[in-house]
Structure 1
């Protein structure tokens, strides 16, 4: 039995890290550029930023799933940091991720429990499991962050 596909999307890139990416229907387009830290101009977004944005939104949706399941309506925030490392095995690069979860007026132990559950449920977390180092931790909620 095959798994049911519920959504499909695509992106087109020209110019690699110094180019442009867009949806096939051109409803979403953005400039891609090498970060200044890597010798580029930094005049656009980069793949690591896009990955961080997508992963953080997907992870937060998984967190909301468990908050709803437990009737918790406290405000929450997810800060997902992507690191690009030199890979000594092939001279290329590899990623690691830090996920920090804060929830307003909730004990740190409860936040950590929900954060860990979300990590097992999030499709990005499932996709990266065993492939990149990902750490998940509870942090204080910062108003207006």
Structure 2
């Protein structure tokens, strides 16, 4: 069991209609229409949201890794995240690929930073051993 010292933030959302519904945050900052992946329509889908959220969190973990090593975090650092919804013998599951761009950082240092970020990122921790994840340098 993980020891919790302090809750830093609690997200509170309300979703109706599943993949063809709507989702809103209680503070009103998020209000979106959902649609199933691969279908026409104006809504987003859970896999897109997960990819955006994970990549944003991963960039924060990368910034932290750079700061810990006194390395300047590149202003144009980016993560190209792909999250697949797949079906297999055991039903539906996810897999992901994160391609990380760290301009102006040497390859071996970039690899170390990505590994450190993957160890520290809350989304990476939540998915560890649960889904296949590929990390590459873009």
Shared fold per TM-score greater than 0.5? yes
Check whether the contact 1:97–1:134 (CA below 8 A) recurs between aligned residues: yes
| Range moving further from structure 2, 24-33 or 61-70 | 24-33
- DSSP-derived class of the 2:119 partner: helix
Matching of residues 1-145 of structure 1 within 5 Å? 2-3=3-4, 4-35=6-37, 37=38, 40-75=39-74, 76-90=77-91, 93-139=92-138
Alpha carbons of structure 1 residues 42 and 88: separation in structure 2 relative to 1, 3 Å: farther
- DSSP-derived class of the 2:12 partner: coil
Check whether the contact 1:74–1:104 (CA below 8 A) recurs between aligned residues: no
Give per-residue Cα distances to partners, 1:11-47, cap 9 Å, x unaligned. Answer: 1111111111001243320000113x3xx32321000
Alpha carbons of structure 1 residues 70 and 46: separation in structure 2 relative to 1, 3 Å: same
- DSSP-derived class of the 2:98 partner: strand
What TM-score, normalized by structure 2, do the two folds share?
A: 0.89
- DSSP-derived class of the 2:96 partner: strand
The whole-number CA distance in structure 2 between the counterparts of 1:101 and 1:6 is: 27
Shift of residue 109, structure 1, vs aligned partner: 1.6
Shift of residue 87, structure 1, vs aligned partner: 2.5
Check whether the contact 2:67–2:73 (CA below 8 A) recurs between aligned residues: no
**Matched residue pairs, number?**
134
CA RMSD for the aligned pairs? 1.6
Aligned counterpart, 1:143: none
What TM-score, normalized by structure 1, do the two folds share?
A: 0.85
After superposing on structure 2, the runs of 4+ consecutive aligned residues of structure 1 that deviate more than 4 Å are: none
